Amino acid sequence: MIRTHRFLASRRCFLKQAGATALASLPISTRLAFAKSSAVSPPAAVIKNRASLAQNAFYPLPLGSIRPTGWLRSQLEIQANGLGGHLDETWSDVGPNSGWLGGTGESWERGPYFLDGLVPLAYMLDDQTLKAKAQKYIDWTLSSSNVTGFFGPHTNDDWWPRMVMLKVLIQYQEATADPRVIPFLERYFAYSLRELPQRPLRDWGRFRWQDEVLSILWLYNRNGDPKLLDLARLLHDQGFDWQAQFTNFKYTQPITAEFLKLDQGNGLKDLALATHGVNNGQALKTSPVWYLISQADKDRNAITQQLAMLDKYHGLPNGMFSCDEHLAGRNPSQGSELCTVVETMYSLEQSLAILGDAALADRLERIAFNALPGTFTDDMWAHQYNQEPNQVECSLHHKPWTTDGPESNLYGLEPNFGCCTANFHQGWPKFAASLWMASHDDGLVAAAYSPCEVHTLVGKTPVHLSEVTDYPFRGSIRITINPETPTSFPLSLRIPAWAKGATVHLNGRLHSSPSVGAFTRVEKTWNSGDVVELHFPMLPRLSPGYNDSVSLERGPVVFAYPIGENWVKLRDRGMTADWQVFPASQWNYALAVTENTNALSVHESPVGAAPFTLKGAPVKLEINARKLTTWRAVDGVADPVPQSPVSSDEPEEKITLVPYAAAKLRITAFPQLKEPTHEPH
């Protein structure tokens, strides 16, 4: 443990550091004005990898370059008006007594988690109130650095929460150019290089070392200090070998508490941490990140094997893998933790930038448009710890969780455990910040699709892009390119793997009918007002699943049958409440489907500000089905979806499916009915 006297001198020592005193000594009102003015600064240049590293295929744009519009901005505003913008006002763990504000309250990961979403949310919305909230934590953290370079609450010296705060500070620096951040990082990484040999990574930090390597490489690309690469190698050597785990993947069955021997206190042993859902979500970026240093093909390609193993043994129809709390198999009545959802998204965003693999973006959209919004109430004032694709009740039951508790799928402030309460905030803002990237060959990349505006530099030329679309609910995307002066650069556009028959038009004329599952390039000298239009045919399609069940998809959106909902308040929780949700209608349907899904009825309505709600659902599908009376629920949990095909004597009905996230109680994976046999006359 770090001795107390180091922290008594921390602020005094920090203020002696060159380049930091000017801003740190200003009154808070002046610093906030600095932060506000930075929001309207000219676009910042993208900094590429130094020559000693492998080059990224794409480079994320600095925070603030992309601003959401349309339904996506509304979604971020819903988050800001809900728990995302008010958590510090109603939850003591990140409130005024937080250890990350110098108080005596929670001093581990929850403050950094909260900031990891609050900072990008504040700057993407250009919200002065949210910026002011974030600034308090930022200022305290920057002033907490002592003479050794160590920072943060003095009640723990754990490496892990500081890994999260490093990500926070990097985002903040990109948005504000605050001159305190880079010297702060340099001191801390020098401290880490000195300290890690005698105080190595342990438990969470050992399994999440790749997150710090990302921060190290960010700084290395700005100062070129070779000792930073020594630190990265030290973390790699001390960290868990995720690539080896997935090369010979042993965890092919649901992981139970008995298997882990949790009753013997093994929660932080390697077996428990290696099968922990959030760790696996974060681990997806490990090999791509390490590839930048190793430049080895085995590291570049390893994420494909990781995803294949997770899909094969634990994959769910919403794009996630099961983890409640540990890997839980393919039964769609199992859950996925919200922390795992947002960390998987972040891993995919970073891996996509490094590798340029369109399949990673397809996966990212599938999770972002289904699993992410599917675990919140419509107003984002409450969330679940675990969500289930086949979720027929949200109540106080121990089933079906492998190692979690009975509150796991309640909607509330901190059901089961508060990590997700602090960590969910990064999901939407970081997705919005990843829509567009810069390519290694000095072009721009449409990596994922949603309505937005972009202000960036191509070379030295300011370029403004406007993306107008109702995607993912519609297949048309209109991109207007406005360079300050005519400028030549390649524009790379992702064509999803499902978008057969996609077309690209340039200034009203057909440009190409590109291949799916890849990026297509449009290269020309761009003039202000040039327009690129994409059209992705959005035909319903079947996706196979557990026990030969099927799910319905259209574009990147998964569809579900919405079960009637009866919401019952369990308790008030400050500004919010905890809720149970009980079924108010039957749900046990088997579908009459064939491979020809073109005949399904598709009903579209306007895309409004809240498209992930039952009331605002902009697309619905109609399909024939029969009730399957033998498929039941026990203790509030749907039995595993029956092995298809199934028979039912119940009358045929036409049922309506809605986007996955709109239904808080839902069936997503359905058994298939046997096709009727026709007796000869």
For 90-135, the pLDDT digits (tens) are 999 999 999 999 999 999 999 999 999 999 999 999 999 999 999 9
Q: Is the preceding omega at residue 645 within 30 degrees of 0, hence cis?
A: yes
Which residue's structure tokens are 């004032």? 381
Mean pLDDT of 628-634: 97
Residue pLDDT, tens place only, 263-291: 999 999 999 999 999 999 999 999 999 99
CA distance 440 to 489: 11
Which runs of consecutive H residues, i.e. helices, occur in 39-95? 70-81, 83-90
Residue pLDDT, tens place only, 371-392: 999 999 999 999 999 999 999 9
Terminal C-alpha separation, the chain:
86
Mean pLDDT of 211-224: 98
Q: Are residues 81 and 135 in the same domain?
A: yes
* H helix count then E strand count, the chain: 23, 26
Mean pLDDT of 610-626: 97
Q: What are phi and psi of 639, to 5 degrees?
A: -55, 155
The alpha carbon torsion through 644, 647, 651, 654 (nearest 10 deg) reads: 10
Element (H, E) at 60: strand 58-60
Q: Are residues 48 and 196 in the same domain?
A: yes
In a domain, 248, yes or no: yes
Residue of 536, 463, 457 whose CA lies nearest to 496: 536
Tokens of 545: 């699943």
Residue that is last in its domain, among 510, 535, 560: 535
Q: Are residues 100 and 237 in the same domain?
A: yes
Residue of 49, 65, 43, 62 whose CA lies nearest to 174: 62
115 phi-psi bin (left φ>0, alpha ψ -120 to 50, beta other): alpha
The length of the chain, given as a count of residues = 681
Residue that is last in its domain, among 504, 535, 566: 535
Q: What are phi and psi of 117, to 5 degrees?
A: -105, -35
251 pLDDT higher than 70: yes
Tokens of 546: 């557990």
Q: Are residues 658 and 605 in the same domain?
A: yes
| Number of domains forming the structure of the chain | 3
Q: Are residues 531 and 549 in the same domain?
A: no
In a domain, 674, yes or no: no
Q: Output the DSSP codes for 312-332.
A: HHHB-TTS-B-BSSBB--S-T
Q: Are residues 362 and 492 in the same domain?
A: no
Domain region containing 604? 541-667
In a domain, 673, yes or no: no
Q: Are residues 501 and 549 in the same domain?
A: no
Q: Are residues 115 and 229 in the same domain?
A: yes
Residue 615 buriedness (CB in 10 A; 0-12 / 13-18 / 19+): exposed
29 pLDDT higher than 50: no
In a domain, 681, yes or no: no
Q: Are residues 234 and 377 in the same domain?
A: yes
pTM over 0.85: yes
- CATH number of the domain encompassing residue 317: 1.50.10.10
Q: Are residues 444 and 359 in the same domain?
A: no
Q: Are residues 138 and 175 in the same domain?
A: yes
Q: Are residues 457 and 421 in the same domain?
A: no
456 phi-psi bin (left φ>0, alpha ψ -120 to 50, beta other): beta
